[in-house]
Structure 1
Amino acid sequence: MNNEKIQKILSSNGYGSRRKIEKMIIKKKIYINNKLVKIGQRININKKMKILINKKKIILSNNINKKLILAYYKKIGEICTKYDNKNRITIYDKLPIIKNVNWISVGRLDINSCGIILFTNDGELAYRLMHPKYKIKREYIVRVFGKINNNLLNKLCTGIKINNKINKFKKICYISGFGLNKWFKITILEGRNKEIRKMFHYINLKVNYLIRISYGLIRLKNILLKVGKFKNLGLKYYNLLKKSVNY
């Protein structure tokens, strides 16, 4: 950790991607020994150094090379935030507490959805896995209520403009169901906020069940993960995920 850029040091310790840290520096959110940090600033870390992010003191790990990747099976009703002023259950409440490890969630699921969420202490890996540039595939099983036909299904794949952005599914496949409730498998390459629900709502359909069954090469059925539990995926999967985003 000698004479490294502050972005690299903080990212390696799980405080976000280098780009996110740069944004925090621009917004004057990071101080070292009561002095504002500059982008690209190189520092030598020592025990007496006082580092503040958003006015909170942080502790850097002595072993920044130990990278971890977890998979968690989120329950319906849990929220994807570290802190909640309503004291609701968060996904972070279920994760292992490891000294000097700051978990970063890879993507989010809304309170009414369930399924796989990845966590890592590698800020750069988390950033790449979420960025549209790397086209990481996410797969979902959804139950939809309402009248639907092939024309509407095609519209979901060709694109729908929502909030001045084109949203579209990479793929949608009918699974089962008759009448007004039907099951589909959906593949997307981005993770915009409530994207799937919003797209169905746009064509007057309601998603009444949604589960994410895979994120990239990590699939629920392959890692045998139970609801409300986490699993340390180990170095093998960590390296495979790095490779998938050219990291």
Structure 2
Amino acid sequence: MTEKLQKVLARSGHGSRREIEAKIAAGRIRVNGQVAQLGERIDADAEVRIDGHAVSVKPPEEVICRVLMYHKPEGELCTRKDPEGRPTVYDRLPKMQGARWVAVGRLDVNTSGLLLFTTDGELANRLMHPSQQIEREYAVRVFGEVDEAMLQRLRKGVQLEDGPAKFETIRVAGGEGINRWFHVTLKEGRNREVRRLWESQQVQVSRLMRIRYGNIPLESGLPQGGWAELPLEQVNYLRAEVNLAAEKRSFLDPRHSEPKHRRFAKIRKATAKQRERQKSNKDKKRQR
């Protein structure tokens, strides 16, 4: 049985479907020695190369859908490589053979919090698609006077440069005076949308953190720069949200689970070591 090339490569963990389609359009993918075409269908024994490198093409039964929760710190870029050598969200993720992590959306460099990664590019593509309307929740600290009329405008909708936008909900979450915290929800992921919505009311965002994606909250105690693999139940919640078949296997073995506090203590230790290595590398570059 043949399947579309972009679907097979996305499922096999070589990028989101959108990323793969862009590579096909740019002539970067070959199938059996020929430049691939958009919409091309392949069978299981096809030889596929991306940028000249042979890649594995896996049938559905050999692919285990994995999803990671990552606590992104401020200052990290949502890109695989930065020409200036700045830290990226991919630097700390576990390494894999024959596949790669695909980010479900992005957070800008000054935003922290929950970022999901998966080995299934088709899942990532569907979760990011605007038609899915999956709710995201953010904790946001704003600087400036905020009144009820302003909140009503943000709930009802305002016009941004790329179209109308609004918060589904806004809840006061602490603070006083002109420094206050709010929890807000959106059902789309446009670039810097939370910041731009507040800025439309002449209010400045001073801190921004994503704390929930769908019904998956940022796990309490997960340190910045740390990741945790989602259990099968949460993986299948995400798959059901975008009409994908349930996964039957998991990399997590419940028979060998350890208490959360011990697991997070190991993560904190590992992230601290990585920060020290990054600092040491920066110092060495300055001395050259």
**TM-score using structure 2 length:** 0.78
Call closer, same or farther: CA 1:17–1:148 in 2, change over 3 Å. same
Count matched residues.
242
Report if aligned partners of 2:12, 2:58 keep a CA contact under 8 Å in 1. Answer: no
Matched with 1:242 is 239
Matched with 1:44 is 43
Call closer, same or farther: CA 1:197–1:229 in 2, change over 3 Å. same
Long gaps (5+) in structure 2: 245-288
Report if aligned partners of 2:44, 2:57 keep a CA contact under 8 Å in 1. Answer: no
Separation in 2, partners of 1:61, 1:217: 32
Whether 1:60 and 2:56 are equivalent positions in the alignment is yes
Call closer, same or farther: CA 1:24–1:61 in 2, change over 3 Å. closer
Call closer, same or farther: CA 1:245–1:101 in 2, change over 3 Å. same
Report if aligned partners of 1:61, 1:101 keep a CA contact under 8 Å in 2. Answer: no
Separation in 2, partners of 1:31, 1:228: 36
Separation in 1, partners of 2:75, 2:26: 33
Call closer, same or farther: CA 1:152–1:189 in 2, change over 3 Å. same
Q: Which runs of 4+ in 1 moved over 4 A?
A: 61-64
Range 69-78 or range 158-167, more displaced: 158-167
Separation in 2, partners of 1:51, 1:61: 10
Matched with 1:228 is 225
The aligned runs of 1:1-247 (5 Å cut-off) are: 3-46=2-45, 49-52=47-50, 55-60=51-56, 62=58, 64-221=62-219, 224-247=221-244
| Superposition deviation, residue 33 in structure 1 | 4.2
Call closer, same or farther: CA 1:50–1:185 in 2, change over 3 Å. closer
**Identity level (%):** 40
Q: 2:163 is matched by which residue type in structure 1?
A: K
SS at match of 2:8: helix
**TM-score using structure 1 length:** 0.90
Q: 2:72 is matched by which residue type in structure 1?
A: K
Long gaps (5+) in structure 1: none
| Superposition deviation, residue 14 in structure 1 | 1.9
RMSD: 2.0
Range 65-74 or range 12-21, more displaced: 12-21
Separation in 1, partners of 2:52, 2:86: 23
SS at match of 1:70: strand
Separation in 2, partners of 1:69, 1:129: 12
| Superposition deviation, residue 11 in structure 1 | 1.1
| Superposition deviation, residue 23 in structure 1 | 4.5
Query: Deviations for 1:169-210, whole angstroms, at most 9, x for unmatched residues?
Result: 111111222111011000010111111111111211110011
SS at match of 1:94: coil
Call closer, same or farther: CA 1:182–1:56 in 2, change over 3 Å. farther
Call closer, same or farther: CA 1:173–1:56 in 2, change over 3 Å. farther
User: Which structure carries more relative contact order (alpha carbon 8 Å, separation 6+)?
Assistant: 1
Matched with 2:254 is none
Report if aligned partners of 1:31, 1:51 keep a CA contact under 8 Å in 2. Answer: yes
Query: Deviations for 1:29-71, whole angstroms, at most 9, x for unmatched residues?
Result: 3222442212332323548x3512xx35242165742111100
Query: Deviations for 1:117-160, whole angstroms, at most 9, x for unmatched residues?
Result: 00001111111211221111100111000011111111111112
Separation in 2, partners of 1:221, 1:41: 41
